[in-house]
Amino acid sequence: MIPGRWLHRFASFWCGTATREQIVEPLLSDFQHQWIEARGGRVMTLLRGYLAFWQTLALCTLRGGWHWLLTAPSRITFERIFVWAYAVGIVLVIVFGFAWVRTGTLDSTAGLVAIRKLIATFGPGLFLSHYWPRARRLQTRTLVLFGFASGIALGYWIDSDGHLGPVLYNLLYLPLVWNPLAWAVTRFHYRRPRSVK
């Protein structure tokens, strides 16, 4: 069976039409022709082909993500990207954390504390910055503030070594990091209203 069929199916799901036609399909067609023409050393041909595919796909994903970030229609979209990146970060930490614990690279207690600290440190602040702009009614705003306070309290309880670390970070990072960043993006990038297709 000719290689690259599964990669082609994956690329059809993952990439846009232009990327698939202009970048992925030429790569796969060259890979398949090279594999057909290879008399010996087909394993190396396969490895090189697969490596090139994943390198190219990673590059396309980075370029696509950056382009999407630059052309995002509003600050809300920017916030959504940030929150999603945070969620993906947590998932990655959990996945790699378990892998490290299993291989003995990381002590299991230290790994769990690291994950809980990560959630306690960034979670409440992100929750507030994500939901506060959307909350219009007084009840909703109260609920958001209550959620934020609960998150901080939970962070205080979770971090047994330095109680005040997550609390201070949550209180400081909003005015010192998130708000200036959001202001800068709004001021310099989303200055003009963009048309949404």
Partner 1 sequence: MNSSLPRLSHTEQLILSLLSEGETFGLDLVDRSDGRIKRGTVYVTLARMQQKGYLASRVEAANPGAIGLPRRLYQPTALGLRVMHAWALAARAFAGQLPQEV
Tell me how far, at minimum, the Cβ of 25 lies from partner 1, in Å. Answer: 6
- Give the whole-angstrom CA distance, residue 29 versus residue 17: 16
User: Closest CB to partner 1 among 36 and 153?
Assistant: 36
User: Closest CB to partner 1 among 59 and 76?
Assistant: 59
- Give the whole-angstrom CA distance, residue 120 versus residue 154: 7
Tell me how far, at minimum, the Cβ of 194 lies from partner 1, in Å. Answer: 21
- Angle at which helix 42-70 crosses helix 25-37, to 10 degrees, equals 180
Tell me how far, at minimum, the Cβ of 77 lies from partner 1, in Å. Answer: 24
User: Closest CB to partner 1 among 56 and 129?
Assistant: 56
> Would you tell me which residues interact with partner 1 (CB under 8 A)?
2, 4, 8, 19, 22-34, 36, 48, 51-52, 55-56, 59-60, 63
Q: How many CA atoms, within 13 angstroms, populate the side-chain half-sphere of residue 48?
A: 11
Tell me how far, at minimum, the Cβ of 15 lies from partner 1, in Å. Answer: 11
The position carrying tokens 């959001």 is 182
Tell me the two tokens of residue 23.
Answer: 């970048």
